[in-house]
Amino acid sequence: MHPPDKQNGPGSTTSQGRNETDAHQTQALSRATVQPETDSRHALSANALDRVPAAFASVYAPAPGRTRWLAVFICPHCRLGHAGYAREAEKIPGMRRSRCGKRVRIVVARVYRGQHSEVAA
């Protein structure tokens, strides 16, 4: 309770004897929430993964003149063809950002290894 001679306001004191402005600052700080830092800032929850549309890709093995695996897919957002590259075939499936800027989940539909590919052996 405030003493009867003091009014509520910037210069008044609280029941604990603190200045009103100090009490307001303490109250504002006590409402702050601190988020713990996480290593995977871009990780998606299981619900968010369900909302990301799948893009079914045809994957081509490295060929003469191309040292990386090539994944070609139709974007479910813009309905245009996009290409993605990876050094290893195992890195192609998963979350990617397509050329149009939207996030897609790449699913390998078929793999073309070629006739003279070292990878086909």
Looking at the domain assignment, is residue 27 inside a domain? Answer: no
Distance CA 28, CA 9 (A): 17
pLDDT bucket at 90, cuts 50 / 70 / 90: very high
DSSP H helical ranges for the chain: 20-30, 46-51
Pairing label, strands 94-97, 54-60: unpaired
Would you say the pTM of this structure is higher than 0.75? no
Domain count, the chain: 1
Quick check: is 82 in a domain?
Answer: yes
Is 79 part of a structural domain of the chain?
A: yes
The DSSP bridge partners found for residue 97 are 103
Q: Is residue 12 part of a domain?
A: no
**Domain around 69:** 52-112
pLDDT, tens digit (0-9, with 9 covering 90-100), for 46-84? 666 678 999 999 999 998 888 999 999 999 999 999 999
pLDDT on residue 29 = 46
Average pLDDT over residues 29-45: 51
Residue 40 lies in a domain: no
In a domain, 45, yes or no: no
Contacts 24+ apart (CB under 8 A), 93-97: 95/44, 95/49, 95/52
